[in-house]
Structure 1
Amino acid sequence: MSIGGVPLRVVSYNVHAQRDDTATLAEVVRAARPDVVIVQEGPRRFRWRARCAALAESFGLVVGAGGLPALGNLILTNLRVRVADTYCERFPLTPGRHLRGAAFAECVVGGARFVVAGSHLATDPTERPGQAELLRKEIESARWPVIVGADLNEGPGGAAWRTIADGLTDTAVAADRADRLTYSCANPSRRIDAIFVDPRITVVDYDVVDTPQTRRASDHFPVLVDLLLPVTD
């Protein structure tokens, strides 16, 4: 345990349904040495359990929550983190659109309890605000400090972004790195991937990992944060 809190490294990463260089994807995550990875566009269809487990193993992690019940949102952890409970949310289906949802994991590390939430909001701007409202309700009901990793499909200032960010710390802003763009790897032009945290959590460092490897691994860059969690026990 560090003075002032329990250290935790978190990565939030849209892995593009593993349609790119999967070997490099695994190398990118392993090199980051995260405690928690919040995945968007993870396995959600045929043999999803085995495929989620295989993805986790390739990262050197284990499955904490999500998969098909969370419609491709997935929370992975290392063995330092204990997952005490999990739950998933599915947003109402709009005909002709992709199903969307969220994954949640109540976790314990050291003397700190916290909740990890992961989601991937719609590309349709008319759907996103409603999905953000539903996600926000779940965030507000959490018993412990929350860490939210999401592909919001819009940048800061959008209605859905404001809904999720309200009352939470935007880790990029806290680290004075809000100019770091997360999408696309081929032509970086937008910050649509974010990690938000409870104000009781200290942001130590923040990075959008832009390397030749990350440009091959997915169409999104991974977002990496180092945090200090408040002791709750």
Structure 2
Amino acid sequence: MTHPGVPLRVVSYNIHGQRDDTAALAAVIREAAPDVVIVQEGPRRFRWREKSATLAASFGLVVAAGGLPALGNLLLTSLRVRVVDTRCRRFPLTPGRHLRGAAYADCRVGTSAWFTVAGSHLSTDAAERPGQAELFRRDVAAAPYPVIAAADLNEEPGGPAWTTVARGLTDAAVAVDRGERFTYSCADPRRRIDALFVDPRITVIDYDVVDTPLTRRASDHFPVLVDLLLPAAG
């Protein structure tokens, strides 16, 4: 007996530390109506728990994982998603550089569709990125369920860190022939540095880089919006 897939809508978004138009930011997410939002540059300092909860509420979502323990990587979900386990990682610090990390959550939709969501934000330093990418890849490879991994890689396709993270996964943009869509910057879009990869068992239905007047006010990155079909267990 075959089991139908379960739809899931995911947004990956570098929100620029909420330094832009926060009302526009909230409107962008509410209009997209995602099940999961993978945030880069979320709250990570003083009162980060309260700030993360406030951000999630402005989106109509709840906090699943991340924040300070993941150095600003934050995973948010709708009430449709049940989070069953979470973990965070901090990458080794290179003196003089910013701390970086990653957040992970094992989740379930309904009774049969299990998945692991992973989010990270790699260094702007080309010498530091590959090591962080390898740690992120190892975590993703060890995930107990089919993975949805999104990150601001600070690097374009073909680079060493991008290639490392992408190993064994499907680039959602390429899967639906949208690899030419740039994600950064909103002021002058010339680079695709925000990536979303999925386990080959997950079907990519649609992919979009949302370029609207609202998204141009909300952050310096465009959000990546992906519709997926999760495999349903027997």
Shorter-chain TM-score: which interval?
over 0.9
Gaps (5+ residues) in structure 1?
Answer: none
Q: What does residue 53 of structure 2 align with?
A: 53
Distance in 2 between residues matched to 1:121 and 1:71, nearest whole Å: 11
Report the secondary structure of 2:13's partner residue: strand
CA distance in 2, matches of 1:195, 1:79: 22
- Shift of the alpha carbon at 1:9? 0.1
TM-score (normalizing by structure 2): 0.98
Q: Report the counterpart of residue 185 of structure 1 in structure 2.
A: 186
What CA distance in whole angstroms lies between the structure 1 residues aligned with 2:60 and 2:115?
A: 22
AA in 1 matched with 2:30: R
Match in the other structure for 1:23? 23
Show the counterpart of 2:121: 120
RMSD: 0.7
Secondary structure of the residue that 1:187 maps to in structure 2?
A: coil
Partner of 2:76: 76
Post-superposition Cα deviations, 1:39-93, rounded to whole Å, max 9, x if no partner, equal 0000000000000000000000000000000000000000000000000000000
In 1, Cα distance between the equivalents of 2:72 and 2:83?
A: 19
Does the alignment pair 1:164 with 2:165? yes
- Mapping of residues 88-103 of structure 1, within 5 Å: 88-103=88-103
1:221, CA displacement in angstroms?
0.1
Aligned length: 231
Residue aligned with 2:20, SS: coil
**What whole-Å deviation, never above 9, does each CA across 1:5-39 have from its counterpart, x for those lacking one?**
00000000000000000000000000000000000
Shift of 1:135: 0.5
Q: Distance in 1 between matches of 2:120 and 2:174?
A: 20
Q: CA deviation at 1:140?
A: 0.8
Question: Aligned residue for 1:134?
Answer: 135
Match of 1:220 in 2: 221
What is the aligned partner in structure 2 of residue 87 from structure 1? 87
Q: Secondary structure at the match of 1:153?
A: coil
Which residue in 1 is equivalent to 2:43? 43
Residue in 2 that maps onto 1:108: 108
- Please tell me whether residue 144 in structure 1 is matched to residue 155 in structure 2: no
Task: Calculate the TM-score normalised by the size of structure 1.
Answer: 0.98
Counterparts of 1:166 and 1:183, CA distance in 2: 23
Q: Could you say what secondary structure the match of 1:219 adopts?
A: coil
State the 1:232 CA deviation: 2.4
Question: Which string of whole-angstrom CA distances, capped at 9 and with x for unpartnered residues, describes residues 69-126 of structure 1?
Answer: 0000000000000000000000000011000000000000021010000000000000
Alignment of 1:195-206 (within 5 A): 195-206=196-207
Could you tell me which amino acid in structure 1 is paired with residue 154 of structure 2? N
- How far apart are residue 206 of structure 1 and its match? 0.3
The equivalent of 1:231 in structure 2 is: 232
Q: Take 1:67 and 1:232, find their aligned partners in 2: how far apart are those partners?
A: 31
Please identify runs of 4+ aligned residues in structure 1 that moved more than 6 A: none
Query: What is the DSSP-based 3-state SS (H/G/I as helix, E as strand, rest coil) of the residue aligned with 2:178?
Result: coil
DSSP 3-state at the match of 2:140:
helix
Structure 1 position 208 matched with structure 2 position 209: yes
- Percent identical among aligned pairs is 75
Aligned to 1:34: 34
Q: CA deviation at 1:191?
A: 0.1
Three-state SS of the structure 2 residue aligned to 1:58 is helix
Which residue identity lines up with residue 33 of structure 1 in the other structure?
A: A
Q: CA deviation at 1:131?
A: 0.1
Query: In the alignment, residue 194 of structure 1 is paired with which amino acid?
Result: A
